[in-house]
Amino acid sequence: MKEGHRPVAVVGGSAAGFFTAGLLARAGRPVRVLEWAEQLDPTPRTLIVTSRMRDLLGPVSESSIVNEIWQFELFTDGRAAAVQLERPDLIIERANLIRGLAEQAQRAGAQLEFGRRFVGLEGDGKGLSLTVERARDGRQEQIPAETVVGADGALSKVAQAAGWPRQETVPLIQAIVPLPAGYPPGTVRVWFVPEDTPYFYWLIPESPTQGALGLIGEDGQETRRCLETFLEKRRFEPLSFQGAKIPVYKWGVPVGRSVGAGRVYLVGDAAAQVKVTTVGGIVTGFRGALGVAEAILNGGRSRELRALRRELDLHLLIRKTLHHFQQAEYSRLVDLLNASARRSLSVYSRDDAARVLWHLCVNQPRLLLLGLRGLLARGSFSRRGRD
């Protein structure tokens, strides 16, 4: 780290934080990553992402890929539709991915500091001063920084300290289950069960014998109860459970703000860079990291951040539509997935929402009408309190 230059302090050593740190260090910026955990030991977790992750990360992503998905099967109320993918989705092991990104950031020159809990920040005339508590002995220290990047997850303390409003979250719960005999390992199954959740259930195979079956809901206890009933009805034996709160993206919340003479940015879950259609946050978190690194290096400007915002806004529009679908509308949706509409879904990934939507509407205009009805009839996003 160059003497005399205040570093960029990245709070949170996980996927989005390490990727941001690596990008900035490679561009020659002094970077310190401050992570609460005492050592690099991320919780293993099975995730599904689009192939866009490979484009964004390059070779570092390869060691985390445990399976490829070539087909989605959609189910609702006794109906089914299958969508083949032209580029596979990737099943990744999150712990390997995070280790790879940490190594990459360190090799580029970032300083990784574990056992450091961010407590607060304030402007100090030349930039920012962070208060950080050491896990070892509970002692607090002040760390000067030019810019702070909050990559500290859905319940971001950096966001809170810098004055962002508290973000809304939804519960995600998944069970690791043995796959039924003969289950195709390159296929993800999705069930729309609107009486249980406005989102969906999924079964993601992580190996030929084991998969993750889960759902996103609105209320934690109710979501857990729905998952247990679903597992029991379909005779799946849970081996273990994984769960967390996933942030919900909102229109118009900026990812950067000034505090005194310094700048504070948020990336990943801390910035709710999550597609609210599928509640996937890995690829969009990496795009957010790319954008924030670009903004820090270019005096606040970033084309990537603008493109990401457009993409996330579009996902929000689609979610507002889907959120109020009842069984009849899901049944119609699955029926309407004719061959040409299925082709649009197979060629363009969910990380390219604008193109998926355009091609779907051109190929199957009734899908557009169905969506517009959902949007106009009910308007608001939350189903809570619905009659």
Instruction: Give me the residues that bind ligand FAD (CB under 6 A), please.
Output: 11-17, 34-37, 45, 47-49, 117-118, 151-153, 157, 172, 174, 242-244, 246, 268-269, 274, 280-282, 285
Pairing of strands 256-259, 262-266: antiparallel
- Output the smallest distance, CB 228 to ligand FAD, in A: 16
Residues forming beta bridges with residue 242, ordered by sequence position: 174
Given phi > 0 = left and psi -120 to 50 = alpha, else beta, which region is 261?
A: alpha
Cβ distance to ligand FAD smaller for residue 93 or 329: 93
Question: Which of 371, 378, 148, 112 is CA-nearest to residue 262?
Answer: 148
- Output the smallest distance, CB 141 to ligand FAD, in A: 13
Beta strands in 201-334 (DSSP E): 201-205, 210-216, 240-247, 256-259, 262-266
- Output the smallest distance, CB 298 to ligand FAD, in A: 22
Question: Which of 49, 88, 46 is CA-nearest to residue 68?
Answer: 88
DSSP calls for 129-187: EEEEEETTT--EEEEEESEEEE---TT-HHHHHTTPPPPPEEEEEEEEEEPPTT--TTE
- Output the smallest distance, CB 182 to ligand FAD, in A: 24
Cβ distance to ligand FAD smaller for residue 130 or 370: 130
Cβ distance to ligand FAD smaller for residue 152 or 329: 152
- Rounded to the nearest 5°, which phi and psi values hold at 363? -80, -25
Cβ distance to ligand FAD smaller for residue 214 or 374: 214
Cβ distance to ligand FAD smaller for residue 93 or 269: 269
- Output the smallest distance, CB 329 to ligand FAD, in A: 25
Residues 6 or more apart whose CB falls under 8 angstroms from that of 23 comprise: 289, 290, 293
Q: Which two tokens mark 366? A: 């009734």
Cβ distance to ligand FAD smaller for residue 130 or 322: 130
Question: Which of 358, 357, 367 is CA-nearest to residue 336?
Answer: 367
- Output the smallest distance, CB 273 to ligand FAD, in A: 8
Question: Which of 37, 52, 141, 58 is CA-nearest to residue 355?
Answer: 52
Cβ distance to ligand FAD smaller for residue 19 or 325: 19
- Output the smallest distance, CB 219 to ligand FAD, in A: 17
